[in-house]
Amino acid sequence: MPTFSRLIRFLAKDGRTYYGDAILPSGVTDLAKAAQANVIKGHIFGKHDVTEQVADVKLLLAPLARDDVRTVRCLGLNYEQHAKESGMPIPKYPVLFYKPVTSLNGPFDNIPVPELAQQAEGLDYECELVAVIGREARDVPESKALEYVLGYAVGNDVSHREWQLRRGGGQWALGKGFDGWAPWGPGLVSARIIKDPQALNISTKLNGKTVQQSSTKDMIFGVAQTIAFLSRGTTLLPGDLIFTGTPQGVGSGKKPPLWLRDGDVVEVGLEGVGTCVNKVEHVKSRPKL
């Protein structure tokens, strides 16, 4: 398991891309403010070392390269107050769906909205704690589940309610799976540092105004319970991401609904981890020749 404390992946001022252990000023926990890091040599999910080499950060990237990600699992309706605002019963079992790895995006990248998703209103935000599996896990007991976590990040499960709920044929994937619709980061904080993932403040700001404010203690299925359940008869692999659901305050739950617009800036934050800040950008299709 990791030797790092706060993993970031970044484009350095020397033009190279590194994994590194973030160097933060005293009293600062937001990884988005990392300006330097000790370069990590080796494989993040295998043998690796935090070196004495210090590199200057030019741009923070998604915490894991796409080739290092296996799957993106997500939970729906996993906060009690969110289930209530959605008018849905409290789930008896975790509500699981998947997003494609192409939906992953960096902590400061724009959120691209393709023409298909511009046809109707319904674009929504969802701040979420993201747990990353660090070693192979199958039939893991809840009491041991957190030992399999590489680290924690914050993410935004960007969703289009029209395509998720009405045009998707009963499946959520289409309305949540467009390219770049899962910004996450700004890095990974080791499970050695975050010992209790159920005691963290989590929030979303839209154009500087707080629209979601909650605590991970409101989760219906906590991180340990989720990992234990998902590993029953199914092997979780190093590099699997688990977006663990969103609290109350989503745009679809407001009256009138609060939909994301072209140019809006969305900031999701998780205590002890940091913030991702992403701008909504309507784009035109670019057919490949």
Cα separation of 268 and 136, whole Å? 29
Sorting pLDDT into bands at 50, 70 and 90, what band is 169?
Answer: confident
Q: Is the pLDDT of residue 48 over 90?
A: yes
Asked if 161 contacts 122 with a C-beta cutoff of 8 angstroms, the reply is: yes
pLDDT band at 170 (very low <50, low <70, confident <90, very high): confident
Residue 287: the pLDDT is: 64
The tokens of 256 are what?
A: 């009138």
Computed over every residue of the chain, the mean pLDDT equals: 95
In which residue are the tokens 């407001």 written?
Answer: 254
Q: Predicted confidence band at 223 (pLDDT cuts at 50, 70, 90)?
A: very high
pLDDT per position as a tens digit, 61-88: 999 999 999 999 999 999 998 888 888 8
Using an 8 Å Cβ cutoff, are 210 and 203 in contact? yes
What integer is the mean pLDDT of 210-231? 98
CB-based contact 230:78 (threshold 8 Å):
no
Distance CA 59, CA 13 (A): 8
Query: What's residue 52's pLDDT?
Result: 97
Q: What is the pTM of this model?
A: 0.96
* d(C-alpha 79, C-alpha 213), whole Å: 12
Q: Return the pLDDT at 237.
A: 98
Mean pLDDT of 99-109: 98
Taking alpha carbons only, the member of 80, 259, 25, 69 closest to residue 182 is 69
